[in-house]
Structure 1
């Protein structure tokens, strides 16, 4: 388990709010890093020379916390809440396209 890229204050708040055990905390942190590693492996060809450490450093604090919280919710068996959080995050971070009408 690595907390290297997880923002400590936000992570601690999630741990406290969800009352996570050390084992659940480790599982959530591992899930966040597996998701980031998966994204790194799927990066575009023009970024193929980028190391995982460089890539992970560019992931926003908000994204790290969202991945951690989704992992924590899954660990707690709260699959519906994890899915809703994932969908809300996707909607909030969708790139907008010029000229697109809503």
Structure 2
């Protein structure tokens, strides 16, 4: 963790998921975990965080990435121009989603 926002979020996500796993090991029961991001978050770093931690991947399974899409405004969002080196979050969400609602 070098202090950048993405590293902080990644660390918080891993810590939160490990706390859930600890709760289960102490007799708790959880059927599923849903991670909700901001409306325009790029899902790739979150999935990468999950997949890069062996402790999590041994205990948890990433079942799906679900995107919520506003049918009226989605075409315009997909065409949004972004700064060089940045990603179009709407495009990333739709392209990376297993399911779109």
**TM-score (norm: length of structure 2):** 0.28
**TM-score (norm: length of structure 1):** 0.27
Using CA pairs under 8 Å that are at least 6 residues apart, name the structure with larger relative contact order, 1 or 2. 1
Larger radius of gyration: 2
More helix by share: 1
